[in-house]
Amino acid sequence: MVLMVPAADAPPGTTPAPQPAAQPETPRAAEWESSIAALTDPRPAAYDPAIESLIRIGEPCLADVVALKSDDEMTVRMRVVTVAAGIGGPQAQRAIVDLSRDNEWRVRELAALGLGKTALPGAYDRLIEMLDDRQPDVRKAAARGLAELGDARALDRLAAYEAERDPRVRDALRLYLGALAENPLIVPALAERLEGTRGPVLHALIDAASGVGDPRLAPALATLVGGADLKAAVLAARSLAANGDSRALEALTIAADQSYRELGEAAAASLRTLTGHGAGAGAAWTLWWRDHAADIAALAERDRFIAELHDQRRPVTRDELAAFSPDQLMPLVDGVLGDGARWWPLRAYTVLALDDASRWTAPLTARIGAVRDAEQRLALIVLLDQLGDPAAKPAFERLLAEAEKRARDERRDGHDGYNQPERAALKLAIARR
């Protein structure tokens, strides 16, 4: 018999033995037995809740789910894919790979989408194989799976869409190539492939790059603008409108004065976007470069830094930011306002927030005063407030006085309610200080 000594009666210098913490009970087969049965029910009202329940239970029920992968009913096998993809893990992936070879193309189609969510070894290789499936819908699903998987090795294979015989699949390959290219983790590999590929695959990669909006692509695209492949040069010149920075301007100005009209016009259009100078194709850009080359050269270090910041894994220090003036770092503000890649605004704000907030009060106040678009001005006010300079109160008070005066002028002209959101944001910023 074990004698339990109460804590109060324990001998001096001793403490009661710690009791083990209660462990959560492992789910038992009885808990998912009804859900497994419901997977075989043809009614959505029965199998939809079962799918959700089994995914919540997770790996403990997976062996029983996978046991249904040989069911005679195609829809049951499809539900197995859905549950396995929702649970994930090696056992789930093995089941999905097996079902990706199912006789029914609809099961294979769903399996391709499921493999795109597994991100485990073997998923990429199987999806590449499925791009040659006899059923077009399976090939489309495999392309989507590769884009969702986010493996840079798929770039060249998706870019070979000109060889696809079915126009619907060809369109899907192009679409999902673009989606893969927009993944910020893929951009370095995309830049590398732009430098090491030729022919139709290169043209497809440049086309995909045109929707990215990442200056890490600018050097590779600028090199292509001056290359011997005229189609690649034209596509690259156009793509630089979204991905270019000062490092691409020299190549574009040379191309804008080329005798090949399509290249000259493409280069001039991108130059107008990047510089704001309104010249058309021709010698005007050579003259512009002569007058601005020194200023553009001075921007190269800043633009290289901004491009590096597009790598979301790159650490940033306040000392690095201090090496540039706020005016030089205004592309970060443009990013917060929506310029660039779809994910860049959040990254740009994260970088700005690391800087000394007091450096930004005067330049942002000046920019707010110069902006006429009400939505952009409001966004800049909110940004200045969020940066948190405690000494910015006088600046906000001046901005509010100006906004109140504009509102009075507008009311006098019968436009009551003018800039009310702006005034509310300014009052809140003042109250916070």
Q: How far is CA 245 from the centre of its chain?
A: 20
Tell whether the model's pLDDT for residue 415 goes beyond 70: no
Number of H helices, E strands in the chain: 24, 0
When mean pLDDT is compared across 13-27, 33-47, 74-88, 230-244, the lowest value belongs to: 13-27
Q: Where along the chain do its domains lie?
A: 213-292, 318-431
Tell whether the model's pLDDT for residue 11 goes beyond 90: no
Stronger pLDDT, 17 or 361, i.e. the higher one:
361
Q: What is the pLDDT of residues 261-304, one digit of tens each?
A: 999 999 999 999 999 999 999 999 999 999 999 999 999 999 99
Q: What is the pLDDT of residues 135-181, one digit of tens each?
A: 999 999 999 999 999 999 999 999 999 999 999 999 999 999 999 99
- What would the DSSP string read from start to end of 190-214? HHHHHHH--HHHHHHHHHHHTTT--
- The residues near 48 (Cβ < 8 Å, ≥ 6 apart) are none
Q: What is the pLDDT of residues 52-67, one digit of tens each?
A: 999 999 999 999 999 9
Instruction: Please list, residue by residue across 369-401, b when 16 or more beta carbons sit within 10 angstroms of its beta carbon and e when fewer do.
Output: eebeeeeebbbbbbbbbebebeebeebbeebbe
pLDDT at 431: 96
| Percent of all residues in the chain with a pLDDT value above 90, rounded to a whole number | 86
- What would the DSSP string read from start to end of 72-98? S-HHHHHHHHHHHHHH-SHHHHHHHHH
pLDDT at 414: 65
Q: How far is 99 from 137, CA to CA, in rounded Å?
A: 16
Q: What is the pLDDT of residues 187-236, one digit of tens each?
A: 999 999 999 999 999 999 999 999 999 999 999 999 999 999 999 999 99
Q: How far is 240 from 114, CA to CA, in rounded Å?
A: 35
Q: Are the CB atoms for 418 and 411 separated by under 8 Å?
A: yes
Q: How far is 5 from 419, CA to CA, in rounded Å?
A: 75
- For the whole model, what pTM was predicted? 0.85
pLDDT at 416: 62
Tell whether the model's pLDDT for residue 17 goes beyond 50: no
* Domain 213-292 fold: Leucine-rich Repeat Variant (1.25.10)
Stronger pLDDT, 238 or 20, i.e. the higher one:
238
